[in-house]
Chains A and B, each alone.
Chain A
């Protein structure tokens, strides 16, 4: 298996606060990898560091074997790496279509048009609200838009930060189905999830983060079954 993403001993700080200590992980092509852990464990920091929003103090990030540590997000999108950020951060003042067009800003005009059609097909909910301001979408619709928007750049590696946060149970099902469909399409996924049991249940592999450190790794089911580890963060403080 090829390493698509290699995160090697990164430490990321916000001023004096160290959010991530020497964290390492790897994602192979075609895998769905889950990143779980309590609030404040550094999961979002890790994804934001990989996506180029944050620069690590030490350590390196490699994508397809190339060093991308601290590379501007705009370049990473062009290289095939996209992030669905925490809280979705869809553009509420833009329409659904405009959100998607912006998501495909790196594609050629023809590709963008083709992917808009694909998005409309893949997300019927969005097609129904095509010219509506995204600020009027429900939580589930907004989450689908956030994923659809990231897919517009046709990423090979998609990072998702808490894609089910704040969603109704039926919408959580929709999002998990979507993750499986994306993997079936051959996309590589690295997912941060609060719904740890369920995420590990469908993941090929998982990483458990706690207070900025990777404290366990294994296949999804292994990690999910490890009750002792599990208690350490279900009942654990941040």
Chain B
């Protein structure tokens, strides 16, 4: 049986990126927690700018560090809780990796684009990401041209970003979509063609459409015929009923941690497919009784990024002080879970894949950005509350009670089984 406080904490950790201990104490009940977490007070934070490198070769991947530090700090401190959850969700959804893109400046531009749309329209977000320079480099849109159609973005778009695997498209549809997407390039400074593109008004590091590279043929995409371009093809895909179902179900699983019933999935898909508005979809998901049910509590495995955010919140610390961001990134690197560096286009691992020894031991490293021991809590329940934990097993309680040193007790709370799940 889940206690009232635990259920409130559950709502907060699912609709945000951390336990938010200073907030949870003031929330009366789960409904209050939901309405608070979904409020978009103030304005959306704008990511810090990064220097535009002179060429792809001159780009320093480590330039990404301040942006990662800033992002994790937003997760911990932005009052717009659901926005941070959704920015993370869409970033993992599109799973663009700096490892291939190579240019932190472009990753920052994409991050700003995802932030801009994160709570609004998924259709707008998809259209924007499809023309985003980092994505065009990541999934080879820039080499996709008439006569040399590259299927990378076309396939992953249908499989991972819209319809879902085995959901009614064929290899012929992948080819038709890829042909429709052809013709986009990025002006990459340092390449011989860059100056010429600039003369045409295509600024460095921006994307553009060149119709001589576009496949203008009439295509058959998901049963529709036309000489589709990128936007038109995306609209065809967005109009397929598989798309709202796949995306809404994926978000449901992220927030609830369970699979929706067939009826719930159909109803969410139907309203989401109507206008692709994200926040109303979140509201509908949180209104499903399953969201606050006992079954949903602690059925997800807490990701390393969430663990880090929780540690920072528990200790009232942030990453703005040098070199904490670098230390935090190194800790995340130990478990291969660094923002902007997902292992592949499928995104970061999740679920029980995150319960291996490497991840469990890696949780200790996530304490390292804390340069000094955190302030001692008055007792064990107060300490656990800092991590958003209210119901713990007698075994966990015993280990914490047996540890006399408050600093070490903090380290054990940050690695206990209940904190490992979410």
Q: Do A and B come from one complex?
A: no
**A-binding residues in B (CB < 8 A):** none
